Amino acid sequence: MLLAGAFFSLMNVSVKYISHLPAIEIVMFRSLFSFVVTYLFLKRKRIPPFGNNKKLLILRGITGSVGLIAFFYTLQNIPLASAVTIQYTSPIFTSLLGILIVKEKVKPMQFLYFAIAFGGVILIEGFDPRISSWWLSIGIISALFSGLAYNIIRKLSTSEHPLVIVFYFPLVTLPVVTFISFFKWVQPQGWDWLILLGIGIFTQLAQYYMTMAYQNAQLSKIASLNYIGIVYALGFGFLFFNETYDILIYMGMLMVLAGVILNLRSK
């Protein structure tokens, strides 16, 4: 789980490092890498790639695409650790949307944890002049659509192979972002190509190690380790982008993590 967090953080750093390229273009390259790798795995395992519940699979692709594009835009336009912290509210949206989508029960105490997490987000935005209301909204949209995607994945888990669910993300995303990128194209130069390749590799490695962790340990013991990513983000943000924060912003980040982790522990 710690390795997964490290590779996800390296992906985030890479996206921010090439902020001169449009986020939609970076999503295109990442989707292309994911499409090729996932298709090769499906072919190797002789799994039909298009699944059974195509409407829900396409919806999973759309929601995941919106969530990722919005997240990449926030990575490029606000401090690294702040973008990651706002994205960490996605489990809150997963729980809230789960009430309607998968008929999940939410304990009354969980609403207090939700309020703590969102209070932390407001504290971060309110005391950091580098975060406008616009970019905060984009970050919240990213977390919202990620939460929606997670609920759709849960509905699909009984009828679709995990690789098929993964495959539909680039299958849906790639044509759309390629078309948009045609009108906003910025030619990658020199090291940009290596960093774009790294984004794809880091993502695949992160997902692999995270899946391995969930398959081989109790969820309650390792789920919270996912949020060690905020420590990576703070360190990498300072090291690569010279990002620092006031004490109140650190408190806001702590509130977000506390709210999310307490919510996970109560489930």
What pLDDT score was predicted for residue 14? 95
Residue 215: per-residue pLDDT: 64
Nearest to 88 by CA among 251, 244, 228, 247: 228
List, in order, residues 6 or more apart from 19 with CB less than 8 Å away: 76, 77
pLDDT per position as a tens digit, 151-178 = 888 888 778 888 888 899 899 999 999 9
Percent of the chain predicted with pLDDT > 90: 55
- Tell me the residue range of the domain where 51 lies: 2-266
DSSP state of 19: T
pLDDT at site 42: 92
Residue 176: the pLDDT is: 92
Tally Cβ neighbours within 10 Å of residue 50: 11
What is the predicted pLDDT for the residue at 67? 93
Of the candidates 165, 160, 134, the one whose C-alpha atom is nearest the C-alpha of residue 63 is 165
Largest alpha-carbon pair distance within the chain?
Answer: 54
pTM across the whole model: 0.88
Put residue 244 in one of left, alpha, beta given phi > 0 → left and psi -120 to 50 → alpha.
beta
Residue 223 is predicted with a pLDDT of 66
- Residue 160: the pLDDT is 84
Q: Using the Cα atoms of residue 189, residue 185, residue 168 and residue 166 in order, give the sign of their dihedral.
A: positive
Query: In whole angstroms, what is the distance from residue 87 CA to residue 89 CA?
Result: 5
Q: Write the DSSP assignment of 105-172 as a string of letters.
A: ---HHHHHHHHHHHHHHHHHHHH-TTS-HHHHHHHHHHHHHHHHHHHHHHHHTTTS-HHHHHHHHHHH
What's the confidence (pLDDT) of residue 219? 59
229-241 vs 2-17: helix crossing angle, rounded to 10: 30
pLDDT recorded at residue 78: 93
Number of compact structural domains in the chain: 1
**What is the pLDDT, as a whole number, of residue 218?**
65
The whole-number pLDDT of residue 40 equals 94
Q: Rounded to an integer, what distance in angstroms lies between the CA atom of residue 33 and that of residue 224? A: 29
pLDDT value at residue 39: 93
Residue 171 CA: distances (Å) to CA of 21, 38, 113, 215 = 22, 10, 36, 26
Residues of the chain with pLDDT under 70: 214-215, 217-223, 267
